[in-house]
């Protein structure tokens, strides 16, 4: 008779919020780098510029929107992926094949990306607000204020600006994070060298974070530009053409800070998730 614990449906959202609190400054710097029309500053230069002009706390601009995004986007994708995975695992009496994990991750991520688009858009705007001249700043008080103001001033449709890119990115990053994490963990445990411990979780999530960064960076750049636009793009295709004019590397603008942000975020998310599962998960005896 063996005992194991499985995650509750909302643990992914809680774990993602914990990780977001730690990595938010890196996310803010990434958004600033991606919205530059020309490459004027690198990662450290942008961080110094933000702190010098607006203070250290400016690195946490938009944190409420980031947490709101995690509790919509990440909660949805984790809930779909882990619930279906655990159901199929108990039915098949074994782990899912990798291709099924990829398909499930893509579906969960696409759905989560769509659900989280309004909070994601407000998050991008709040992070980028300090770069605008004072007369053009939106000055949202918090995520809820931002959502209500966008709805009131720009309409419901505007809340889902960039939804195509956000959903597509959500699919790619979820494949990179959840499917690759599960597969990497399965392979590491299969060697028999390491047990189901925090070192295994760290190694598996590091691999998953690298995969997610590479897969989603072009879509992340497009999504950020669409969400931060003031009408200069007529749609996804127009944004794609304008970005392409800057050269192929424009789609990987901010790759290093994106990796520096996404990899630690992935590591922290899964470490928090595994600890939540270990101490508060649903106990299964077989």
Concatenating the DSSP letter of every residue in 112-160 gives: HHHHTHHHHHHHHHHHHGGGS-GGG----SSHHHHHHHHHHHH-HHHHT
Residue 36 per-residue DSSP state? -
Residue 249 per-residue DSSP state? G
The residues with which 3 forms a beta bridge, in sequence order, are 285
pLDDT for 168-225, tens place per residue?
889 999 999 999 999 999 999 998 889 899 999 999 999 999 999 888 888 778 777 7
According to CATH, the superfamily of the domain at 3-285 is: Mitochondrial carrier domain (1.50.40.10)
Tell me the pTM: 0.81
Q: Domain residue spans in the chain?
A: 3-285
> Which residue reads 């490459």 in tokens?
39
The residues with which 252 forms a beta bridge, in sequence order, are none
pLDDT for 87-134, tens place per residue?
887 777 778 899 999 999 999 999 999 999 999 888 888 877 777 788
Residues 6+ apart with CB under 8 A from 23: 261, 264, 265, 268
- The DSSP string of 39-61 is ----HHHHHHHHHHHH-GGGGGT
Three-state DSSP state, 191: coil
């Amino acid at each position: 008779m063996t005992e194991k614990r499985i995650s509750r449906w909302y643990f992914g959202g809680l774990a993602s919020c914990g990780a977001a609190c730690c990595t938010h400054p890196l996310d803010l710097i990434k958004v600033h780098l991606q919205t530059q029309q020309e490459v004027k500053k690198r990662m450290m230069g942008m961080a110094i510029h933000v702190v010098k002009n607006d203070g250290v706390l400016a690195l946490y601009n938009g944190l409420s929107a980031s947490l709101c995004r995690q509790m919509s986007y990440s909660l949805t994708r984790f809930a779909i992926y882990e619930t279906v995975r655990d159901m199929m695992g108990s039915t098949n009496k074994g782990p899912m094949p990798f291709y099924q994990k990829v398909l499930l991750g893509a579906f969960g991520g696409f759905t989560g990306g769509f659900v989280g688009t309004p909070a994601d858009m407000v998050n991008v705007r709040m992070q980028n607000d300090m770069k605008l001249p004072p007369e053009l700043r939106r000055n949202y008080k918090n995520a809820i204020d931002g959502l209500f103001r966008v709805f009131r001033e720009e309409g419901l449709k505007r809340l889902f600006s960039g939804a195509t890119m956000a959903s597509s990115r959500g699919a790619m990053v979820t494949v990179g994070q959840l499917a690759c994490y599960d597969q990497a963990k399965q392979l590491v445990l299969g060697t028999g060298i390491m047990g189901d411990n925090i070192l295994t979780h760290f190694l598996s999530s590091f691999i998953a974070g690298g995969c997610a960064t590479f897969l989603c960076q072009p879509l992340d750049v497009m999504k950020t530009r669409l969400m931060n636009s003031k009408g200069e793009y007529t749609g996804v295709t127009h944004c794609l053409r304008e970005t392409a004019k800057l050269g192929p590397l424009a789609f990987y603008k901010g790759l290093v800070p994106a990796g520096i942000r996404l990899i630690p975020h992935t590591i922290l998310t899964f470490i928090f998730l595994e600890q939540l599962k270990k101490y508060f998960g649903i106990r299964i005896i077989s």
